[in-house]
Structure formats: structure tokens, C-alpha cells
Amino acid sequence: MAPRSPWYARSAWFACGKAAVPGAILPTLGLLAPPWSVQAHLTPPSRPMPSPPEPAGGTGSNEAAPTPEATPGPAAIPSPGAIPGPEATPDPEATSGPATAPAFPLCAPLLEPLLRAWLAEDLGRGDLSAPALAGRSARAAWIAKAEGLFCGGVLVEPLFRLLDPAVEVRLLVADGEAVRPGQRLLSLEGSAAALVAGERTALNLAMRLSGIATATAALVAQLAGSGVRLADTRKTTPGLRLLEKYAVRCGGGVNHRLGLDDAAMLKENHLAWAGGVAAALAAVRAAAPWPARLIVEAETEAEAEAAVRAGADGLLLDEFQPATLAALVPRLRQLAAERVAAGGAALVLEASGVRPEQLQAYAASGIDLISSSAPITRSAWLDLSMRFESGAA
């Protein structure tokens, strides 16, 4: 199902982890060919088992001698400027080799305002504890406290460098890799005040994203070998959509629409108020300012068949039982084959309203995609911590 023309995308799509191809643009149902089309750059991120846990290092306070360059006073976010790109530096202490920096082509104009807002939420008028650390440099490490998939390392360097451009970050684990309790994930070195000021914000983001990646991977594992892909939804935390969808990819899922402008999905209200499936599709197709996929959410078999005949690119089959889909899908495929033979577009079949314990039954029905909000809306955070180490430079 090749794209008919260049597709509009306001989003900068991203790859994840060691499988990332720098600059790769990963498709969604609304943007390019279906995400389940097997292409080299669409391979889900590899998640090799980690090396044995490394020692966590010291847990006491840092007693490094003050440096004359440091300026006392509450930590604050520096004036706006370009955020250095996240580059991983090999760490000789990493037993499994240096992690490759994920391809994350969110440019500074998109990412920097988010990072600044999140830091400002915690810093407020300034960190009142900063004077206790004036003039001191420090080293710290992130440690996994639970088993799961790590995600969020790509944000650590840009975030801490907003507080102190001299902070150095070494990634020991790539986003999308499995981790074990006690394993070192990354190391940091720089101003002690900056490390303390950014600690909570950075960990909160990483724990949230790691939880989503871990939950996604658990569901994706149930679909292994079926050829059916797991997609996310627009049920995301306001302000975190880009990152939460990135975490889904790190867990092996694929991204659905980023927003309402990536594809037109016509739901129950659209169909009722527009006068039916054919009228709704015709109106959207005639007015679309850029090439866009047209998806219909069908709640009955008749509605699904009508949508295929009217030229929908995709069907979201909502809350159908697996047995019903097993009988319906062949009929929809036949209708789609007839329209392809006449020069029409191919059809994508997606199931929603699926409980996690039913994934395999739905995958056996012949659909292409299962969409679920569960990895984002129901996942628990993955517990991580930052431990300060003695002997700073």
C-alpha cells in the first residue's frame, strides 16, 4: 500500500534504541504505508538482555572541593538557546559496550519549551537548597530498581544541559533495552547544584516512559508471530504525547495518529451528523488540504461494509467479538480486493476495545492492527533512582 503522494506530517517521527536509523521517519496509519508493512527501518527496537548488574557505587553525599567557577545562589534555567543533541559517550565501565544514542529528531524548537516548562514547574523561583552545594562538582549514576524496559535516556542530556551546559552524560543503556534491578543505566558529572535541581524532573519523565515501554512490550509479546501489530491511541497525557508515543515504539508498538490532522477518523457522531458513511467520507475527501488517510470507526457489520464500499482507507472495528470478526474480515477483504482491482486503495483493518487477555483471539481473526490505550493509561512507573558518588573531578 504505497503512498499516493508525499504525506503531510506535522510530527517528527522517531526511532528507538540500538535499532534506530538516524533520521528515520516512522509511519503511522495516518501518514504513510501501514505500520505493519515489513520494512528494514520499521523493525521493532531490539531489547537484548542486559549484562549482569553493575555496582551502584557510593550512596553518600558528595564532598568534592569547591571550584572557583561556580556561582552560589538558587539554580535557575539559563536563557533560551539550542539544546545540544543527545550523544552517547562510551563509558569504560559499561560491560555490555556503549549504548548507541537513539535517533530522536525532535528539533530544539519542539523539545526545548517542554523541558523548560517541566523544569520550571519544579524549580519555581529557584532551588533554595542550591547554596549548600555552591562551588561543588559531583558525579551520579542512575540505577534501575525494578525489571523492565528503560526509556527516556534520550532526554537526560538536553534537560541537564539547560541547567548547566557543562554537565556530561554517559548512556550505558539504550532506550528500549531490558534492565534488571541494580543495573547502572547512565552516569552524570557536573555542577552538584544542577544535578540536584534536575534530578526529580528527569527521573519522573524516565520512570513514566519506562513504564509505558515495559507495558507495551508485555502486550506485544502476546502478538509474537501473528503478524498483527499493537498501536497506541490519542489517549495520552496532555503535554507528553510525543514522548509517550516514543515510549510505545521503544516497547515494540507502533504509533497511530499523533493528532487530528494526521488522518481523518470518522466516528459515531460524525456519521450521524453528516448523514451517513458515504456523505461523511465525501465531505472530508473533498475538503482535505493535504493527502490524508480516511478511517471509519464501525460499530456494526453493515456500517463496516458500507465504509469499504465508500472508499475508506481503514476500518476501526470497535468492540466486535473475535468470533464475529473472524466471519466479517473475509467479507471485508473481498470487498477491498474488488475495489483494488478497479484501481482503488487497499484496506487496513484494525480492532479496538480489546481486553489484554483477548489479544491472541483477536489476532487470529485476520485483522492487521490492534489499537490499545492500556500501555499509556494503565501502566505503572518503572522505579529508578539517582545515586550520588564520591570522588568528583
Residue position matching grid coordinates 535516556:
153
Q: What angle do CA 310, 312, 318 make, to 5 degrees?
A: 110
Q: Is residue 314 a contact partner of residue 349, using CB atoms and an 8 Å limit? A: yes
Catalytic residue among 116, 145, 180, 200: 200
> One-letter amino acid identity for 55?
P
147 among known catalytic residues: no
Catalytic residue among 267, 309, 333, 339: 267
Q: How many CB atoms lie within 10 A of CB 385?
A: 16
Distance CA 294, CA 280 (A): 10
Catalytic residue among 313, 318, 368, 389: 318
Q: Which residues contact 303 (CB under 8 A, 6 or more apart)?
A: 271, 277, 296
Cα dihedral across residues 34, 35, 38, 40: positive or negative = positive
For 190-255, the DSSP string reads: EEHHHHHHHHHHHHHHHHHHHHHHHHHHHHHHHTTTS-PEEE--S---TT-HHHHHHHHHHTT-B-
> One-letter amino acid identity for 137?
S
Distance CA 153, CA 188 (A): 12
Strand partners, 153: none
Catalytic residue among 177, 189, 297, 303: 297
Q: Strand pairing of 293-298 and 314-318?
A: parallel
Distance CA 281, CA 168 (A): 53
Residue position matching grid coordinates 556561582:
71
Q: Is residue 369 a contact partner of residue 36, using CB atoms and an 8 Å limit? A: yes
Residue position matching grid coordinates 457489520:
301
Catalytic residue among 63, 87, 122, 235: 235
318 among known catalytic residues: yes
297 among known catalytic residues: yes
Catalytic residue annotation: 200, 235, 267, 297, 318
